[in-house]
A and B are shown apart, each in its own frame.
Chain A
Amino acid sequence: MSVFERLNWFRIICWLILAVILIVTVTPLWVMLKTALMPSSEVFHHSTAWWPTNPTLINFERVLGLLSTEESLKAGGSGAKVNFSLAMLNSVIFTGIIVVMQTMSAAAAAYAFARLRFPGNTLIFGLFVASMMIPGVVTFIPNFILIRDLGWLNTTMGMVAPFCLMQGFSVFFLRQFFLALPKELEEAAYIEGASHFYIFYRIAIPLSITPLITIATLIGINMWNEFLWPYLVAKDESHQVLTVALQGFKSQTPQGQPDWTGLMAATAISVLPTIGLLVVFGRNVVESIQFSGSK
């Protein structure tokens, strides 16, 4: 009886703290949404209200470029135009190319390191792992110079180049799984006359779908959120990704105060894909991140 009671109290307190943390997690998103729904004229008087006063969609229309400059100025905007639909498309292209290419090349390399004997195997893998230790900023400076010399500034090529072929973590992560595959399958196939390459893409790849999806998810999240590299390489509006476009929109402050309602509307639009991803693939996203930690 007493054990039962003690456990219950423990659970109630834990639930309370958990509830507080959940509220703290969600509140900023609510504040963002309710600000986005407020007319900008009200922001000075009702900025701290928990509920939007006179809710309107005008901020969304404004940042999506659906209003003319005059209408937008009248609604309290800076008149500055940031093309968020274009930035969204750029983010999708940037992330998509890197997810596909990096997953493929990392899978190929990881399989070779785990399963094939060739001179230099351990040495090259060791170098790949060591590259994880190098802080991004060290390689970004020479990489920027390289991309500039190639004339790739403000091009998709220049944006994806450093990430699309390799990332130490992806190779390291996938190698762990290929190491754990049962050897008998390969040997049987090899005796039947299958080539190593055939074994890789007809046996090893289909058996590793889960880790492949995991690493693709992780690469996708990181690249969708990447800021510094696209910021350095593609400031031009035609190739700006969402993170860069938002930072740019924030800096356009004619009266010293940022255009908060417009900024929060733009932020809300940018959050949508992430929330959509979580609603549709919630379990997969959570599990793939758990998966990456347990290895």
Chain B
Amino acid sequence: MKTLSAVSFLWQPFSRERRTETFTGYALILPALIGFSLFYAIPLIRAFELSFTDWNMLRAPRFIGLDNYIQMWNDGRFWNGMKFSFYYVLLNIPLQTALGLFLAVAMDRLTRSIIVRSVILLPYLLSNVLVALIWLWMLDPILGIVNSVITSLGFDRQAFLGSPSQALATIAGINIWRHMGLVAILFLAGLQNIPRYLYEAAAIEGASEWQMFKHITLPLLRPVMVFVLVTSVTGSFQIFDTVAVTSAGGPYDSTNVIVHYIIQNAFSFYKMGYASAMSMALCLVMVLYTLIQMRLMRASESDLA
């Protein structure tokens, strides 16, 4: 009986209509499915395989078991790379989010001008490479305009990207400049979904601006906040371009964030296997982070809904 129903499941219940629907469905997803298999799924499996090999791209890959992972565990530069990436996220995200939020509230209250919004968004439309080059020039220790402003205000010259203790924070600052407008525009979209009558009611009750912000704006903005945090944290944990252009990991490895270290191993030292092992570790961190965030996201449905 059981076999029969299994057979009939495979052959019978699809009417002609369902069959054409199935066929069209597969036909429509086919290009995306090919792209997904060739450039996401298979490479992911390949990366996992490669992580157990020693390979410099010249001779055939050699299986070495867990050696890459053991090497990684003992590699101080790997742990530093992870640490710098975490530091970078901690330097970058809070200020970027706060500035973006302030800008969004200010724009929401003060102006509907599309010019103001475009100017705010402009840095995000420039590539990381362009932004890095412009700031590299402005922050030049001798010729840069930033140091001339600092000294004219009576402070000491700063080394910025040349100083091991300042370089990572400087890169974070550069990317805050690039991203705060984007964050503001995203928050602004969320703000416009909050009904005005809530503020009017609060104003009648005599609430202050700060109270309105704290008790109306912030709670109702939670879904957008989670969206912004998930995308910006995963993005800044993978920072690479700005580092590659400005500091190349230096000085003294102080900005050698994890993605930069992985790329360095793969394409400068040709340690494909070792780089793959580290990329699997990064992948694990990102997946864990995303899963935690998704749980939070489910817990953060808007109070309006």
A residues apposed to B, CB below 8 Å: 10-11, 14-15, 17-18, 21-22, 24-26, 28-29, 31-32, 35, 43-44, 47-48, 50, 104-106, 108-109, 111-113, 116-119, 121, 124, 127-128, 131, 133-139, 141-146, 161-162, 164-166, 171, 195-197, 200, 221, 224-228, 232, 242-243, 246-247, 250, 260, 263-264, 267, 270-271, 274-275, 277-278, 282-283, 285-286, 289-294
Check if B249 is an interface residue, CB within 8 A of chain A.
no
Q: How far is the CA of A96 from the CA of B125 in the complex (A)?
A: 16
The 10 listed contacts between A and B (C-beta, < 8 Å) are: A10-B209, A14-B110, A25-B120, A111-B28, A112-B26, A138-B279, A200-B28, A228-B263, A289-B182, A293-B185
Check if B73 is an interface residue, CB within 8 A of chain A.
no
**Judging by beta carbons under 8 Å apart, are B47 and A138 in contact?**
yes
Check if B96 is an interface residue, CB within 8 A of chain A.
no
Q: Which of B107, B266, B286 contacts A18 (CB 8 A)?
A: B107
Q: How far is the CB of A99 from chain B (nearest CB, A)?
A: 15
16 further interface pairs, Cβ-Cβ under 8 Å (given A31-B137, A118-B25): A18-B111, A105-B31, A109-B32, A112-B28, A133-B290, A134-B286, A135-B282, A138-B43, A139-B40, A142-B43, A166-B33, A195-B20, A225-B129, A227-B241, A290-B189, A293-B185
Interface window among B64-72, B140-148, B154-162, B164-172: B140-148
Q: How far is the CB of B232 from chain A (nearest CB, A)?
A: 11
**Judging by beta carbons under 8 Å apart, are A31 and B185 in contact?**
no
Closest to A47 in B: B143
**Judging by beta carbons under 8 Å apart, are B125 and A142 in contact?**
no
Closest to A196 in B: B24
Q: How far is the CB of A10 from chain B (nearest CB, A)?
A: 6
CB-CB under 8 A from A109, the residues of chain B are 28-29, 31-33
**Judging by beta carbons under 8 Å apart, are B128 and A118 in contact?**
no
Check if B287 is an interface residue, CB within 8 A of chain A.
yes
Residues 253-288 of B, flagged 1 when their CB comes within 8 A of A and 0 if not, give 000000100110011000010011001101100110
CB-CB under 8 A from A277, the residues of chain B are 125
**Judging by beta carbons under 8 Å apart, are B129 and A47 in contact?**
no
Q: Which of B134, B228, B279 contacts A32 (CB 8 A)?
A: B134
**Judging by beta carbons under 8 Å apart, are A161 and B39 in contact?**
yes
Closest to A132 in B: B290
With A18-B107, A134-B283, A232-B267: A286-B118 Cβ-Cβ less than 8 Å? yes
**Judging by beta carbons under 8 Å apart, are B32 and A294 in contact?**
no
Q: How far is the CA of A48 from the CA of B266 in the complex (A)?
A: 40
Closest to B152 in A: A48
A-B contacts counted at CB < 8 A amount to 289
Q: How far is the CA of A277 from the CA of B121 in the complex (A)?
A: 12
Q: How far is the CA of A216 from the CA of B190 in the complex (A)?
A: 22
**Judging by beta carbons under 8 Å apart, are B130 and A105 in contact?**
no
With A108-B29, A112-B29, A291-B189: A243-B240 Cβ-Cβ less than 8 Å? no
**Judging by beta carbons under 8 Å apart, are B125 and A28 in contact?**
no
Check if B27 is an interface residue, CB within 8 A of chain A.
yes
Check if B177 is an interface residue, CB within 8 A of chain A.
yes
**Judging by beta carbons under 8 Å apart, are B109 and A11 in contact?**
yes
The size class of the interface chain B forms with chain A is 35 or more
Q: How far is the CB of B121 from chain A (nearest CB, A)?
A: 6
CB-CB under 8 A from A243, the residues of chain B are 127-130, 241
CB-CB under 8 A from B29, the residues of chain A are 108-109, 112-113, 124
Q: How far is the CA of A31 from the CA of B234 in the complex (A)?
A: 31
Q: How far is the CA of A119 from the CA of B26 in the complex (A)?
A: 9
CB-CB under 8 A from A142, the residues of chain B are 42-44, 46-47, 50, 276
**Judging by beta carbons under 8 Å apart, are A139 and B25 in contact?**
no
Check if B80 is an interface residue, CB within 8 A of chain A.
no
Residues 107-132 of B, flagged 1 when their CB comes within 8 A of A and 0 if not, give 10111001111111111111111100
CB-CB under 8 A from A105, the residues of chain B are 31-32, 35
**Judging by beta carbons under 8 Å apart, are A286 and B21 in contact?**
no
| Residue among A26, A48, A224, A250 having the largest count of chain B Cβ atoms under 10 Å | A48
CB-CB under 8 A from B244, the residues of chain A are 227-228, 247
CB-CB under 8 A from B272, the residues of chain A are 141, 145
CB-CB under 8 A from B238, the residues of chain A are 135-137
With A267-B134, A289-B185: A165-B35 Cβ-Cβ less than 8 Å? yes
CB-CB under 8 A from A29, the residues of chain B are 122, 134
Q: How far is the CB of B217 from chain A (nearest CB, A)?
A: 14
**Judging by beta carbons under 8 Å apart, are A44 and B28 in contact?**
no
With A118-B21, A131-B36: A275-B31 Cβ-Cβ less than 8 Å? no
CB-CB under 8 A from B266, the residues of chain A are 141, 144
**Judging by beta carbons under 8 Å apart, are A282 and B46 in contact?**
no
CB-CB under 8 A from B18, the residues of chain A are 117
**Judging by beta carbons under 8 Å apart, are B121 and A286 in contact?**
yes
CB-CB under 8 A from B36, the residues of chain A are 127-128, 131, 165-166
